[in-house]
Amino acid sequence: MPSLSKFLADNRGLSEKEADWLQHLIGDWNLLSDLLRADLVLWIQEEEGALAVAHCRPATGSTVYYEDPVGSLSDDGVEGTEVTRLLAGGEPHHRPTAIEREGRTATGLLIPVRKNGRTLAVLAAEHPDDDSRTSHSETQKRRLGGRLLRMLETGAFPIEGAPIPPRRGAPRVGDGVVELDEAGVVRWISPNAISAFHRFGIEGDMEGITLAELSTEVLQSRSPVDESLPLVLMGRAAWRSDMQARGGTLSLRAVPLTDRDGRTGAVILVRDVTELRRRERELITKDATIREVHHRVKNNLQTVAALLRMQSRRMKTDEAREALAEAMRRVSTIALVHESLLQGSQEAVHFDEVIDRCLRLAVDAASATVHRAGTPRLADAQVEVRTRKTGRVGSIRAEEATPLALVVTELATNAVEHGLSETGGTLTIHSERTGSHLLISIEDDGRGMGAAKPTGLGTNIALTLVQGQLGGTLTWDSLDDGGTRAMVEVYLDPLTI
């Protein structure tokens, strides 16, 4: 099934701004659906007829559609004819009509979606018939939903440019609804909203009193107050804000109600987000603690590497100096992973950046007979080694990043020391990832390994890490045009952040 964006992009009768307006409507029409307790279907005009391009089910009531109507064309019946008439610019009747959906009776209402006086689409609001008595709360919500439908008809809803920040805990109709008049006085409040405000510390009857006045009495004087809170409490701006008092937190969203004469009131959605905000604060504290741990580990590892470097300078034999240099390089590689964790999520490492740094580390520390392309030549006998990276690994779990970084560094170092130290050439790392499957090849265009099997401490370390910690395979083969390729194949664990 094509997406709404695809439907709108293929429609020649809508400009880019008009398509964006319909996208804005779809992003906020759950408010309408929940207030009306009705399914919403958006119809646009196509060459073949009226086409349903979006559908929303209410969270506060039952649906009339078991099958998604998106992608279907309107029929030739009375309802389809009315949709076509409205799409052509006709005026709505504003009368609910009896309809049938999948063998059940329902009530439908058709409203044109207009912007700048032009009809862009038609919104069908449909709810199942219910023999039970409608409660006072449900009647009030449907009345408020009807006011928003009239705003939709005149192009006043959704509210253009409403800066609603994308913060978790957005209140919905089922959490609590308050209706304000143009002066900010409470005209009606739902039972769930009353419970939320009572837990917040506001007691007694709230109707007939200014919501801002009620809230000011319980606000914490020492806590910072969002500058947008007064606008939200008065219903003057389409905004979201949090209000804190007595250890609790309420999330508020204001939707001003307007007609042709101006603002006539507002709908305030309210949700108790005390527990959610507490958990967010704990996560922020935990994140800061973990970052500090990674920072200290990185510093400690760099200190160890510096100590090894100092000790290697005191060694009198080349063998001892090389052994300490290898240990220093491995410690530095682990430090790279912790530094990457500092810059991103504490659960994931962007491994492509680690590969870049491993390449530089491997070439710079591999042998005194080589120098990296773009760096000064220290001796006439040095050969030049170029590095190249292709493909992407993406983000991987921190537990897998450390052994994989060590493996890449060891294999890259071996390629330089044994394949390129005499002739120079190009060291290439190619990554290929499909889902959890990861394949990394380290290639050099040097003299090749021939029939000899790779041995040594670095090779043993790489094999142990790949087979033991990563549960993968490590193989070597000779390239046809000279050189050696090492292949690492592993299956990564799912990344959850």
Tell whether the torsion through CA atoms of 172, 177, 180 and 184 is positive or negative: negative
Tell whether the torsion through CA atoms of 433, 439, 440 and 446 is positive or negative: negative
Read out DSSP for 69-120?
A: -TTPBP-SSHHHHHHHHHHTTPPP----EEEEETTEEEEEEEEEEEETTEEE
What is the structure's pLDDT at 58?
93
Does the pLDDT of residue 429 top 80, yes or no? Answer: yes
Q: Are residues 497 and 353 in the same domain?
A: yes
Q: Are residues 384 and 355 in the same domain?
A: yes
Q: Are residues 491 and 373 in the same domain?
A: yes
| 163 occurs within a structural domain | no
Does the pLDDT of residue 464 top 80, yes or no? Answer: yes
- Closest by CA to 483, choosing from 435, 451, 449, 441, is 449
Q: Give CA 53 to chain center in angstroms.
A: 24
Tell me the mean pLDDT in the region 44-58: 89
pLDDT band with cut points at 50, 70 and 90 for residue 56: very high
Tell me the mean pLDDT in the region 179-200: 91
Tokens representing residue 240 in the block: 């979201």
> What are 328-351's pLDDT values in tens digits?
766 766 666 666 555 555 567 788
Query: CATH number, domain at 52?
Result: 3.30.450.280
Tell me the mean pLDDT in the region 325-330: 69
Domain carrying residue 451: 347-497
| 164 occurs within a structural domain | no
Does the pLDDT of residue 222 top 80, yes or no? Answer: no
pLDDT band with cut points at 50, 70 and 90 for residue 379: low
The CA distances from residue 394 to 148, 304, 425, 462, 495, in Å, are 45, 29, 27, 21, 11
> What are 352-369's pLDDT values in tens digits?
887 887 777 777 665 556
| 161 occurs within a structural domain | no
Top pLDDT among 360 and 475 is at 475
> What are 153-178's pLDDT values in tens digits?
998 988 877 755 555 668 899 999 99
User: What is the number of domains present in the chain?
Assistant: 4
Q: Are residues 323 and 406 in the same domain?
A: no
- Of 272, 288, 311, the one marking the end of a domain is 272
What is the structure's pLDDT at 269?
94
Angle at 220 between CA 217 and CA 223, to 5 degrees: 145
Q: Are residues 449 and 484 in the same domain?
A: yes
> What are 86-100's pLDDT values in tens digits?
988 899 888 888 888
Q: Which of 13-22, 117-126, 401-410 has the highest mean pLDDT?
A: 117-126
Q: What strands lie across the sheet with 240-245, from one edge to the other?
A: 186-189, 177-181, 262-272, 248-259, 240-245
Does the pLDDT of residue 273 top 60, yes or no? Answer: yes
Q: Are residues 10 and 127 in the same domain?
A: yes
Average pLDDT of the chain is: 81
pLDDT band with cut points at 50, 70 and 90 for residue 244: confident
Tell whether the torsion through CA atoms of 66, 69, 71 and 77 is positive or negative: positive
- Closest by CA to 381, choosing from 326, 416, 322, 423, is 423
Top pLDDT among 96 and 9 is at 96
- Closest by CA to 402, choosing from 465, 356, 343, is 465
What is the structure's pLDDT at 497?
47
Tell me the mean pLDDT in the region 206-230: 78
C-alpha to C-alpha distance for 158 and 177, rounded to whole angstroms: 18
Tell me the mean pLDDT in the region 458-480: 83
What is the structure's pLDDT at 241?
86
Q: Are residues 26 and 117 in the same domain?
A: yes
What is the structure's pLDDT at 176?
92
Does the pLDDT of residue 190 top 60, yes or no? Answer: yes
C-alpha to C-alpha distance for 112 and 105, rounded to whole angstroms: 23
Tokens representing residue 223 in the block: 């806590």
Q: Are residues 128 and 33 in the same domain?
A: yes
pLDDT band with cut points at 50, 70 and 90 for residue 435: confident
The CA distances from residue 110 to 25, 67, 132, 149, 185, in Å, are 16, 20, 24, 10, 32
- Of 315, 345, 375, the one marking the end of a domain is 345
Query: CATH number, domain at 464?
Result: 3.30.565.10
pLDDT band with cut points at 50, 70 and 90 for residue 290: low
pLDDT band with cut points at 50, 70 and 90 for residue 32: very high
Tokens representing residue 427 in the block: 């060291």
